[in-house]
Structure 1
Amino acid sequence: MTAITPTDILPLDAYERVRPQTRSAIIAIKRDRRLSVGPYVTVFFECRDTMLYQIHEMLRAEKGGAAQLEGELEAYNSLIPNGHELVATLMIEIDDERQRHRALSVLGGIEELIALEVDGEAIAACPEYDVERTTAEGKTSAVHFLHFPFTPPQIERFRRPGARAVFTVAHPAYAHMAVLPPAMMAALAKDFR
């Protein structure tokens, strides 16, 4: 995938004019990239389009202009699949603040216990370590960024008609899995070269 550069970024006024159409297009893209895993985890598989949208939205919200752009490019370009991986944002979503605090307090290290199984072969998640997401006390962050590096044979297996992929979380306090539906498999297959 091609990294996002400053020339890909629209000026704020131009972005405002196309924002409604862009939002609609991104919602459609994300529909086949969103997966619920158990009651509290939502996974969004990222791509260049979702990251370009995120950068525009951050620039729009924070209005930091050129000074902000470099940091946004650095942060979000790392989440664009490189052609031999899938990249996901994992969010632990619990509305009730007390319940969320209790859950996050016992889910330390969850980022180390995630995999994608493709026809029974596990591909372990490689978390981004831009910041420490689990404290020494065992509390985890509500957001994790994960890379799933594939070998060429694993990519071929993923693309094969009828392949089965399962997203697994094997944390003792949150052991859940979800099968990727065919529409999601087709969308994600495009992330490989």
Structure 2
Amino acid sequence: MTAAKKTAISRADILPPTEYAAKRAELRKAVVARKRKRRMEVGPVATFYFECFETMLQQVQEMLHIEKGGEAQIEDELRAYNPLIPQGSELTATVMFEIDDPVRRARFLARLGGVENTAFIKLDGEVVKGLPEADQDRTNAEGKASSVQFIHFPFTPQQVALFREQDRQVILGFSHPEYSHMAVLPEEIRAELAGDFA
């Protein structure tokens, strides 16, 4: 199994702190370049960051580097980030609603309850419905959405085959009444994400 197809970070994948510190700038540069091809804006304030083994490994290494929690921290980080690695028949994304003004952001999120259940990918008449990460509710009892959402897009084999076709139009969006925006994935992003499938 190649690194691109790994579906879980193990303890063996974690670099020792001194080794990571020595390679940090180089590793971050490589992941930032890859992340550029995995980032998609939808509407004025939402950005999808499609995750993979490498982006999650980098996130774990960064958390360990910054927080310096040692061995005790590793299991918590793996438990938090492994679920966001695509499992071969899905795409996974961290979605951020980015509004700098805290008052405007709070007002906007108060109207966005349930947005995590309205994400979709459309291709050739097929709709792949996004499923929120089940770790916790991302909309509170008052109907306020979190500014960060974690969404899985489970594909059928037929949908995977369509997604892999070069120059295939792929639309990413939300059908929420307060945020019904869509965007067409550029070919560079479609091609990069096609590599997430087994």
Q: Structure 2-normalised TM-score?
A: 0.95
| Distance of 2:74 and 2:133 partners within structure 1 | 20
Superposition pairs for residues 164-175 of structure 1, below 5 Å? Answer: 164-175=169-180
1:28 and 2:30 are equivalent in the alignment: no
Superposition pairs for residues 90-109 of structure 1, below 5 Å? Answer: 90-109=95-114
| Distance of 1:92 and 1:115 partners within structure 2 | 16
Query: How far off its partner does 1:28 sit?
Result: 0.6
Q: Which residue of 2 aligns with 1:65?
A: 70
The equivalent position to 1:134 in structure 2, one of 139, 153, 178, is 139
For structure 1, the residue ranges without an aligned partner over 5 or more in a row are none
CA deviation profile, 1:51-80 (whole Å, cap 9, x unmatched):
000000111111111101001111111111
| Distance of 1:182 and 1:43 partners within structure 2 | 16
| Distance of 1:187 and 1:162 partners within structure 2 | 12
Q: Which residue of 2 aligns with 1:83?
A: 88
CA deviation profile, 1:101-125 (whole Å, cap 9, x unmatched):
0011110000011101112211000
The one-letter amino acid paired with 1:181 is P
| Distance of 1:120 and 1:54 partners within structure 2 | 35
1:191 partner SS: coil
Which stretch of structure 1 is more off in the superposition, 154-163 or 108-117?
Answer: 154-163
| Distance of 1:114 and 1:14 partners within structure 2 | 39
Aligned length: 193
Q: Structure 1-normalised TM-score?
A: 0.98
1:143 and 2:148 are equivalent in the alignment: yes
2:106 partner SS: helix
| Distance of 2:96 and 2:193 partners within structure 1 | 19
The one-letter amino acid paired with 1:87 is T
After superposition, the CA RMSD in angstroms is: 0.8
Once the two structures are aligned, what percentage of the paired residues are identical? 51
Q: Which residue of 2 aligns with 1:55?
A: 60
Moved >2 Å (runs of 4+): none
Query: How far off its partner does 1:161 sit?
Result: 2.0
The equivalent position to 1:125 in structure 2, one of 111, 121, 130, is 130
1:9 and 2:14 are equivalent in the alignment: yes
1:35 partner SS: strand
Q: Which residue of 2 aligns with 1:116?
A: 121
The one-letter amino acid paired with 1:116 is I
For structure 2, the residue ranges without an aligned partner over 5 or more in a row are none
| Distance of 1:119 and 1:62 partners within structure 2 | 45
